[in-house]
């Protein structure tokens, strides 16, 4: 193996990425891993110096001091690791809690680092000691990564499970009830390709029946631009949980008339849509409240803070569904680490 140079090309520190596909690949020579819902990053150590670099190339070290300190503990004083920052709150992984760390106040970061410490999930090893592994096949890099993990066993350092059995990987998706975020497939004979979409991923998509609690007009023209979605909580309050905007062009005029006939405050009785963002115009920031009579089925990918993280896809209208049946318990968080360990028959992370 090549010996480490005085420095590594900064472009090599861009994580290798994955392109989205509909199904997992067949055939031999693949490694499959769960897709984790966190901050993808590269962690490197050079003696006492530790850095954590995000996909965008920015340093995350000051926001996660407990991870920096954890990465200083291993006996291996020079390494480059590819992985994901994850943050368990209770027994779920919270992307919202990760986002809360990106805060300018050092005192807040220090407090959160003690109250809710983050973890680092290992995917790949790009350097260990004097051995630089970028040009080595994944099979060799994984062997080195597992040896590094067994040797260090630092609290907060986790090793992502893997399998070469495609049927088992598909079973992870099928048997997780929609709670697993997805599966990533990597070629065992591939070198590490920084910044390239050289892996593939299948994302888990879930569906939910939601009440249309309001809508926004499009930024131009007098027709609907997006539907505002709500779900009822245990107190009977209708909470805003996201939006969908994939409305067919030839349906907008008729739908606009249908919605305008239902305009009636308050629309949402619990959490309501937020105020305007810096990209909003005066018109696009306004929303119209509706009587809670219409139900739609949407497809979503991830949940953050009891709402859809991204826009959803409109599947169909549900005139057969009573609005009161649309409840918050439809929201599926990512599979809990202990549940994942049980599902794939591996020990739970320490």
Catalytic residues: 35
> Distance between CA atoms of 299 and 288, rounded to whole angstroms?
23
Q: Are 125 and 11 in contact (CB under 8 A)?
A: no
Cβ atoms < 10 Å from Cβ of 290: 25
Q: Are 218 and 212 in contact (CB under 8 A)?
A: no
Q: Which tokens hold the place of 25?
A: 């690949």
> Distance between CA atoms of 78 and 72, rounded to whole angstroms?
10
- The secondary structure of residue 265, as a DSSP letter, is S
Furthest CA-CA distance within the chain = 72
> Distance between CA atoms of 255 and 348, rounded to whole angstroms?
49
Q: Which tokens hold the place of 11?
A: 């472009």
The number of angstroms, rounded, from the C-alpha of 113 to the middle of its chain's C-alpha atoms is 20
Q: Are 15 and 7 in contact (CB under 8 A)?
A: no
Cβ atoms < 10 Å from Cβ of 56: 8
Concatenate the DSSP letters of all residues of 278-307 into one string. TT--HHHH--EEB-TT-EEEEEE--BSSSS
Q: Which tokens hold the place of 289?
A: 């409240």
Candidates 127, 118, 110; CA nearest to 87 is: 118
């Amino acid at each position: 193996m090549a010996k480490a140079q005085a420095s590594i090309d900064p472009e090599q520190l861009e994580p290798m990425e994955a392109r989205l596909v509909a199904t997992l690949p067949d055939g031999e020579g693949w490694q499959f891993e769960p897709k984790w819902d966190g901050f993808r990053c590269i962690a490197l150590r050079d003696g006492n110096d530790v850095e954590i670099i995000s996909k965008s190339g920015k340093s995350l070290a000051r926001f996660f001091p407990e991870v920096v300190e954890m990465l200083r503990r291993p006996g291996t004083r020079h390494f480059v690791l590819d992985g994901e920052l994850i943050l368990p709150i209770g027994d779920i992984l919270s992307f919202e809690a990760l986002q809360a760390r990106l805060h300018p106040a050092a005192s807040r970061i220090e407090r959160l680092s003690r109250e809710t410490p983050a973890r680092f999930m290992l995917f790949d090893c790009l350097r260990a000691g004097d051995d630089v592994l970028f040009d080595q096949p994944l099979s060799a890099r994984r062997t080195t990564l597992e040896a590094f993990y067994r040797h260090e066993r630092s609290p907060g350092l986790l090793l992502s499970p893997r399998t070469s059995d495609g049927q088992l990987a598909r079973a992870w998706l099928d048997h997780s009830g929609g709670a697993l975020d997805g599966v990533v497939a990597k070629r065992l004979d591939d070198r590490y390709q920084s910044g390239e979409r050289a892996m593939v991923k299948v994302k888990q998509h879930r569906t939910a029946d939601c009440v249309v609690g309001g809508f926004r007009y499009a930024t131009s023209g007098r027709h609907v631009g997006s539907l505002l979605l709500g779900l009822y909580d245990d107190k009977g309050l209708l909470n805003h949980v996201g939006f969908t905007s994939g409305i067919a062009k030839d349906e907008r005029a008729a739908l606009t008339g249908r919605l305008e006939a239902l305009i009636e405050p308050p629309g949402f009785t619990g959490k309501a849509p937020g105020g305007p963002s810096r990209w909003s115009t005066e018109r696009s920031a306004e929303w119209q409240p509706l009587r809670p009579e219409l139900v739609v089925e949407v497809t979503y990918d991830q949940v953050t803070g009891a709402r859809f993280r991204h826009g959803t896809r409109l599947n169909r209208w549900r005139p057969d569904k009573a609005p009161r049946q649309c409840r918050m318990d439809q929201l599926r968080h990512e599979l809990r680490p202990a549940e994942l360990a049980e599902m794939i028959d591996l020990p739970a992370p320490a």
